[in-house]
Structure 1
């Protein structure tokens, strides 16, 4: 009976795989607009992504190497990123040409037409117009297959350019024989130290006809940091040259083994067919029915994009390059790379827990190895490099979600310890977060986003601790998971930054600034996935919270502040094109208004996902944008990864079948009950036993003028009316006196520079201590700034330049004033004539952020504010290409001069030059603290 069941199961599986779901995949979706996808050949989670490159400039819309608006192909490379916001990859680039070979990309590139271009799952083809060459590409996991048909008789060339796209740190080409070469490329871009090896086999003998080598070279070996070769042969009209390229992260031996395992096919069509079969197998995990071919294309291309990464990153024998750059062998799991976790923890990884539990455990085993080898869990890992891109430590979300859903195959204890380690580091504001229970602007940039996302991650760690019976850890992290409450302003309902103990003003929830990550307060004020009932209570109940959800969709659909290209797909301030908004429409379910969730989700599905090149409303972000579509189309979404249940909406298709790894099938229709959908795939998960934990007492807010003339009134307020407040003050005259906290009874006045310290207490639970410093002005000068400050870089107004408080190298904390595309000019009025012997003003350079030192600074003096005479000119001596973030004081000593007015004029750098990634844009001047003695 058992054997018959197995046979029947295999028979059913074969029927499923035999269905041609790959026919609906349109790899061009997302290659236009700002989708940042690529159209080339890949198999599910494959190491090779063999695709054309139409961009070599590292531009934002060229992150994947291809953009649909382009008409020029530079070549075909073997690694590509799917929908990221930073450029990298494009390794081992080959380009066929004819005639006299050139190693200049301007010469070897070719025009093409979309009329002569096709792409399908696992296959890409195009005609290169310049030399009438037909190109066909397909791939296995680790080997790319090229077929070039030369439609003219003559000299055919294959260009190998290791200088393609990112910076070549180290290159090597070894000639094995006239049909075989080996290639090593070590490069720097987003991943600062990426290794890739390749074995390239030509179908006919080729000779080196041209080379660019700035290092060692002999008959069989070429090395350097500039390295390109042309391989040539005579061809007849219609002749084909086939090329196989096996890649490896470990070495030539690995590339050779990969070639032996996957590069022996001589028939291009058979490889192409197998690639299609591989895609049919993966895509068949979810069957949807529709008469609308565009909806089928959108759905299956979305699934295709989810399965495009993470990418297998080990050789056929299990060898891989670890985070410490040493070589290891994976045992009992597959090692992966490309973990865009800030994006994918929200939907892509939860989707995988439903349809690919084995691969989910492989991902987590990869995380654990990266922790063991690199000291911490991945944040945004690429090619065994940690890029430290984005925020949070969201690998813990993937781990907690897997544990909560009963996924086995990894060491729970090791995973927990790795997760706890990430939470206990002292990086990216975590030190302040642990000490103060929130991050302020004084501590770290993007303070609001980091606080709320760390709080969610801490909840995830608490869920792991509960599963493992670690009561103390559970209580500790559950308390930390409430830290969002310290940035929730009950007066307006928004997550608002705090600075110097107070709420930061002026505050505009639409403003995109350095207090948020790729967003504004609207986007992050709903980011309490771990405690939505608590957020509802903070708003005053379901009715008021429903109004707050309504408000984001009804708000004006324009952001203010910094231009942020990632914020797209706006419905009011809701931004489908970027991840922080992705769960918000589902929050209506929590206020008993599921019909509003249904309406918003259907609108997004109808309008923001199309079967066109610009069919994605924002970056694909390694499958997250598409995973949102897939889950929502099925009628489910993981608002809180780490909870083994889904939030629900009305399914988008009439019938959906999900084939799970245990051999069972779940069928969803529009009549499927909400309760059934809620536990879909996790029906047998039993909740862990509840444990008690302490409620967080929020830190008080201290309000006063940060800079005052003679005195200022200090008020201390609580975020919870039930809290009692205790405070103490310390000024210069108190420095040697012992101080104690006393009960706060009402506002008080200070007349000296004073530090005020306060905490709140409720039912014996104390808050963290709030510390605020209020400074009596070091002078009574006035300043008239003649330039127009950039609104988000005002540093609390004009007095910030003469208040004695200096900004540090982390300019995103908000202590610097910024001026873009203009010279800075200001006049200081001493109010009466003063004798001056020294002048100084401070400037900052962060070349990558467009902030450059002024070309020169001039100081002038005047008695009447009309007639100014030049005192001194100081030229800049810092190289604009120097990417170190640094401060320079433009100081000068002068002969004793009497003046009432001093003018400071700093000349901005000008337009950013060609070598800069922002070439053509206007540079900033950042200035803080003008002083005179």
Structure 2
């Protein structure tokens, strides 16, 4: 494996540096393309992210509030998200204007030009063209500083609009005096219940000239869910107005305390210089040398993006708002928010274990408190809200990695208890995962990804248990960590979804569908970081696994199935723009081909990171995209967080110095020495050498026709040819609940609706039980559908709408047929005239997913299949704005009618309206069961 030199330079403080590394930061990197970053003023891990907003529509490329392609600024708000895929924040928005004050965003917004825009670490400036106003911004951790220069004489306004971007649930403005106000904002977006308080001080007296307040307006107090105020003052040409805005997640008192602590000076330049110094202190932890200024800009901006979050989320006295919405005080640690853990466990958090061990402990202490106050450690926590975004419980990876690397400063037992608690829930498919050792399509959507990521997280918990001497837990979670074997198809080498006990077909590893999270089988078939030797063995050895790694890079670079905007930066099917691919190039190290790791990584570093607004190939994702760059440029990567080792590759820079918290410096060069590597502990030690995995017997495959006419053959196959299979059957008439499993010898025939249960056994070790249900058709009707079903949502074919099997409210399990932008029409042939008195058809609504109820459903009857008579029209009564996922039965009684044919016509909603995030797109109709009595 590739090795390089780390040279110990001695006990030197990293605070002593001779170079200004903040000068290389370009905050515009990632503000174009799909990077979703913002260019505003921040300090490392600060509560304030003071930045311009050019997007107020919640669009995907406007998640951060800013996109480089825009030419209009609506205002400057104090909170922003760095590179996420969901829109939120934009709190406490202020905008300077002149003349008559207006609360219409079209009126108070202004054109701007990038030629008059500047951004650096801790600073942002722009000229607002509409009224020739120069804006400069800087910040401390909890205070935003604004400087507005009015280049014309006249009446200056400062607009405070609390209805900016997301939904205002409660708003208050308190007038303290003519220079000071207090603001409360409770809002709903991705975080459904976000609290923020602010104290705003103007540098000169300001007069309220206009208000919108649909609640209270009296005694210098304004409230409501529609709330905006305009503050005005006459200004001379060239006059400046300065604003200081402190934030607090707790209350007005917290905002006041934060103001007193961090807004002591009125000197804008002092704060700007301090912000740059704060950045330089953090950035100097890793020194790289290069004559290429673009490479320096990319590297140090990457560090800047990693240090943008998580954000301090407590007042200066330690008071914070817990996950239960109660107040607490952090003792001996700092409390943080914004944990994009599905992304950041892979590289951002491992990087922090190297250069910021104290802050890593603070993150884990935050996890422990959130578990105590909210029931679980965070999944994707935002502003003291759990968004439940993405999958897994990857906080356990952060904890295990810290424990493996000897980081202290948190209670190991409490951290372990919190981690174990997450793994023992019965949510998001975990109940099925615990019972049968994998998740199937029938249990939960994104079943493959969830199974694989849970298995890795379980391995992390096992490593904690080992450190703490919990032998039984260690064995239990190590065994669970082998659950990936239940979804590994030995016939093709891919991780494949299972449905009703069988492999889900048709299968295309390039297909993006609801069985994977933001990816396809190519991306997830390499995700066994906890047992790479086991994955290699499953493929038949290193040579064959090397060919499999080659395969993802040489595959056609087009995905099939659902359009997934996150899948970018393709080399074959490898997607650098999304996280599931990030470790794959390093797997060549495990098959003794480090030169291939070097080659792939250099290509990625050369081509997918640029010093330009579109310089990130995908969402920044709270620093993960940049953390991959930092580690890979240094020549190290944590393929398996939770192991104390790093995989290595050729460094991108000739020399890298890492300043550690103990004062020592490690220098990386492209030279190598085995003795020096061994001494410094950064070599590629043989992975997993001390880990012993309990035997995991994979659950067998049960294959038969899920829906059959008269009989069907059942075949049961083990995933390991050495396994024996035992099974039982229960048909619809079977009353025997105490059946004994019998040895399976050969396929057998069923003729009734039957449930088949089976398990594999090897050396006395039993697998989980596979349960499959096979249904004899409840009717023998024919059906013709006069609409084109979406290939992602076929539910197995046209008979699905008359098979007697009802779709679940979780439509991603695949039991619904989906039709986009068209009216659904089905004609059922009963084969002979039937007496009809009741008709039913069911539909689903998930407004956020573009699935809306039909406007109306019409039922027609015919004897010849040509001439149809309208029997009944059933109108929809569910509001398309209702975001609850729900099923509606459009059923009706009719006068007894004899007919051979029934036509069902469901009229689609049409194009999504302006209020919808997907405005202009075509809505779906999701239909399942049509029944007749």
Query: 117-126 vs 664-673, which deviates more?
Result: 664-673
Distance across 2 between alignment mates of 1:688 and 1:508: 32
CA 354–298 in structure 1, closer or farther in 2 if over 3 Å, else same = same
Which residue in 2 is equivalent to 1:468?
468
CA 472–687 in structure 1, closer or farther in 2 if over 3 Å, else same = farther
Distance across 2 between alignment mates of 1:693 and 1:748: 35
CA 351–141 in structure 1, closer or farther in 2 if over 3 Å, else same = same
The answer to whether the 8 A contact 2:10-2:665 is kept is no
Which residue in 1 is equivalent to 2:205?
205
Which residue in 2 is equivalent to 1:34?
34
Query: Does residue 713 of structure 2 align to residue 713 of structure 1?
Result: yes
Structure 1 residue 672, shift from structure 2 partner: 3.6
Distance across 2 between alignment mates of 1:724 and 1:248: 62
Query: Does residue 696 of structure 2 align to residue 696 of structure 1?
Result: yes
Structure 1 residue 904, shift from structure 2 partner: 1.0
Structure 1 residue 676, shift from structure 2 partner: 6.1
CA 736–765 in structure 1, closer or farther in 2 if over 3 Å, else same = closer
The answer to whether the 8 A contact 1:91-1:164 is kept is yes
The answer to whether the 8 A contact 1:44-1:308 is kept is yes
Query: 309-318 vs 616-625, which deviates more?
Result: 309-318
Query: Does residue 331 of structure 2 align to residue 331 of structure 1?
Result: yes
- 1:122-147 Cα offsets, whole Å, 9 max, x none, are 00000000000000000111111100
Structure 1 residue 477, shift from structure 2 partner: 0.1
Query: 837-846 vs 36-45, which deviates more?
Result: 837-846
Q: How many residues align?
A: 925
The answer to whether the 8 A contact 1:644-1:685 is kept is no
SS where residue 895 of structure 2 aligns? strand
Which residue in 2 is equivalent to 1:4?
none
Distance across 2 between alignment mates of 1:470 and 1:654: 45
The answer to whether the 8 A contact 1:635-1:650 is kept is yes
- 1:414-434 Cα offsets, whole Å, 9 max, x none, are 000000000001110000000
CA 670–221 in structure 1, closer or farther in 2 if over 3 Å, else same = same
Correspondences of 1:311-390 after superposition (within 5 Å): 311-390=311-390
Which residue in 1 is equivalent to 2:592?
592
Distance across 1 between alignment mates of 2:116 and 2:812: 48
The answer to whether the 8 A contact 2:14-2:659 is kept is no
SS where residue 819 of structure 1 aligns? strand
Distance across 2 between alignment mates of 1:183 and 1:157: 18
- 1:177-199 Cα offsets, whole Å, 9 max, x none, are 11111111111110111111111
The answer to whether the 8 A contact 1:836-1:932 is kept is yes
- 1:333-376 Cα offsets, whole Å, 9 max, x none, are 01000000000000000000000000000000000000111111
Structure 1 residue 736, shift from structure 2 partner: 3.8
SS where residue 530 of structure 2 aligns? helix
Distance across 1 between alignment mates of 2:510 and 2:12: 56
The answer to whether the 8 A contact 1:862-1:901 is kept is yes
Correspondences of 1:382-781 after superposition (within 5 Å): 382-672=382-672, 690=690, 693-736=693-736, 738-781=738-781
The answer to whether the 8 A contact 2:10-2:664 is kept is no
Which residue in 2 is equivalent to 1:157?
157
Query: 668-677 vs 894-903, which deviates more?
Result: 668-677
Structure 1 residue 314, shift from structure 2 partner: 0.8
CA 14–350 in structure 1, closer or farther in 2 if over 3 Å, else same = closer
Structure scoring higher RCO (CA < 8 A, sep ≥ 6) equals: 2
Structure 1 residue 295, shift from structure 2 partner: 0.5
The answer to whether the 8 A contact 2:598-2:649 is kept is yes
Distance across 1 between alignment mates of 2:162 and 2:712: 64
Which residue in 1 is equivalent to 2:843?
843
Distance across 2 between alignment mates of 1:119 and 1:786: 56
CA 493–11 in structure 1, closer or farther in 2 if over 3 Å, else same = closer
Structure 1 residue 203, shift from structure 2 partner: 0.5
The answer to whether the 8 A contact 1:658-1:666 is kept is yes
Which residue in 1 is equivalent to 2:86?
86
CA RMSD of aligned residues (A): 1.7
CA 619–673 in structure 1, closer or farther in 2 if over 3 Å, else same = farther
Query: Does residue 835 of structure 2 align to residue 852 of structure 1?
Result: no
Distance across 2 between alignment mates of 1:846 and 1:574: 31
Query: 214-223 vs 406-415, which deviates more?
Result: 214-223
The answer to whether the 8 A contact 1:33-1:613 is kept is yes
Distance across 1 between alignment mates of 2:871 and 2:179: 72
Structure 1 residue 733, shift from structure 2 partner: 2.8
The answer to whether the 8 A contact 1:405-1:685 is kept is no
Structure 1 residue 705, shift from structure 2 partner: 0.3
Distance across 2 between alignment mates of 1:760 and 1:361: 43
CA 279–672 in structure 1, closer or farther in 2 if over 3 Å, else same = farther
The answer to whether the 8 A contact 1:27-1:119 is kept is yes
**Structure 1: which 5+ runs fail to align?**
1-7
**Structure 2: which 5+ runs fail to align?**
1-8
Which residue in 2 is equivalent to 1:808?
808
SS where residue 792 of structure 2 aligns? helix
Which residue in 2 is equivalent to 1:130?
130
Structure 1 residue 216, shift from structure 2 partner: 0.7
Structure 1 residue 735, shift from structure 2 partner: 2.2
Query: 685-694 vs 862-871, which deviates more?
Result: 685-694
Distance across 2 between alignment mates of 1:922 and 1:477: 45
Distance across 2 between alignment mates of 1:727 and 1:160: 69
Distance across 2 between alignment mates of 1:443 and 1:387: 21
- 1:104-123 Cα offsets, whole Å, 9 max, x none, are 11100000000000000000
CA 674–457 in structure 1, closer or farther in 2 if over 3 Å, else same = farther
Distance across 2 between alignment mates of 1:693 and 1:671: 36
Distance across 2 between alignment mates of 1:686 and 1:744: 41
Distance across 2 between alignment mates of 1:497 and 1:211: 57
Distance across 2 between alignment mates of 1:654 and 1:674: 19
Which residue in 2 is equivalent to 1:787?
787
The answer to whether the 8 A contact 2:731-2:753 is kept is yes
- 1:144-168 Cα offsets, whole Å, 9 max, x none, are 1100000000000111111111111
Distance across 2 between alignment mates of 1:9 and 1:218: 65
Distance across 2 between alignment mates of 1:297 and 1:166: 33
Distance across 2 between alignment mates of 1:530 and 1:201: 53
Structure 1 residue 682, shift from structure 2 partner: 6.4
CA 10–667 in structure 1, closer or farther in 2 if over 3 Å, else same = closer
The answer to whether the 8 A contact 1:646-1:680 is kept is no
